[in-house]
Amino acid sequence: MRKKRRKKKGIGFISKTALALNVLFALLLLLSYLASFVNPSSFWPAAFIGLAYPFLLLINTLFLIYWLFRKPVLMLVPALSILIGWKFLFSTVGFRESTAIEVPKSSEDIIRIMTWNVHGFKPFNPGNDRAVKDQMLDIIRKEQPDILCIQEYYSKRRGENNIKKALIEILNSKHYYIHEDFGNQWEVQGMVFFSKLPITDSGAIAFPNTIRGNEAIFADFVFNKKKFRVYNIHLQSIRFQPEDYEYIKNVKEINTNVESSKRIGGRLKRAFIKRSEQALLIRDHITKTCKSPYIIAGDFNDTPTSYAVNTLSKGMYNSFRKKGSGFGITYNGDFPNFQIDYILASKDFTIKSYLAVQKKLSDHYPVISDLEFN
């Protein structure tokens, strides 16, 4: 008699449920990639899905591990959804050992760029703290950037909180450009460049219908007889209020309410749309006025999957993607921590290193990259 063939064993109820959930989260991950191509002004929900990319990536990675031990063939579901977005994967996670350490530049042919949203040179809470300010200045002193791009700059005109005087002494250079958002005879705040390199021209790009503090400035520099431009940008902030941060803390404890969720969602939506407009404005300025190699650095207030970041980084090198290690987190405030500060360079440069100094002084980490002309 012929032996009866054994029926292949299918997957059980738990694995079927897991597969259904995996397909759902794989589709959501694929949808998150649309955020980089779809202007939030046209379809803002895409931006929210893009914001969730790190979490969707994590969930699909967990499914990948689950199927490895449960049914390896089904690893294709999360694996394909992750690999289709390889561009965003490598812009979010650096799969390399860090080679950047806090040391002097390795060559005189290198330009060291540093960008930092300094939050007025005070900690991310009310009141000034002299120790924090001194520690922040110590980092700049140690790194000795050739070009320092600062967002949310604040300085007294005189006295111990005269940051302008301190930075001129630290960098041993009187090359600077300060674009004032607010100023009087006692104090000043705004966007600034401090540089060891000569500045031959400078200017600002005003963002329409935007509260002061969010804008872009630019300056032209000369290095080894070569001219190049740097844009120092601070795209639209979400402008959370104290009650919003309090709600975010409650959300972490699974305590939510509809009214607060709508308020925060509205702030996020408006910021997504504003940043897309601002990114297009900067890109237009570059196209029309910049004929030299250029760098874009600053606080983009948006993630690697966003429309604003991808609009500005089109055709450019991303320093983190080229040389970054681990998770590219640059924000350490109360909102979920993301990479929102960048140094981008036109392809006239080679990226030599990348470093985010992980010290919680401002609500942002300082980001440093060494560049070299090709």
pLDDT of residue 244: 44
Higher pLDDT pick, 101 / 44? 44
Q: Where are the domains of the chain?
A: 13-91, 110-373
Mean pLDDT of 22-28: 98
Mean local confidence (pLDDT), 267-289: 96
CA distances from 169 to 135, 165, 192 (A): 16, 6, 16
- Distance, in Å, from the CA atom of 263 to the CA atom of 250, rounded to the nearest integer, reads 15
**Using one digit for the tens of pLDDT, what is the confidence trace for 121-176?**
876 555 557 788 999 999 999 999 999 999 999 999 999 899 999 999 999 999 99
Q: Which fold has domain 110-373?
A: Deoxyribonuclease I; Chain A (3.60.10)
Across the chain, mean pLDDT equals 89
pLDDT tens digits for range 171-207: 999 999 999 998 889 999 999 999 999 999 999 999 9
Give the residues across from 367 on adjacent strands.
115, 356
Q: Which residue has the tokens 């760098």?
A: 295
Per residue in 66-124, pLDDT tens? 999 999 999 999 999 999 999 999 999 999 887 665 666 778 899 999 999 999 987 65
> With 80 as the cut, is the pLDDT of residue 248 above it?
no
Q: Are residues 58 and 327 in contact, defined by beta-carbon separation less than 8 angstroms?
A: no
Burial category of 71 from C-beta neighbours within 10 Å (exposed 0-12, middle 13-18, buried 19 and up)? middle
pTM above 0.95, yes or no: no
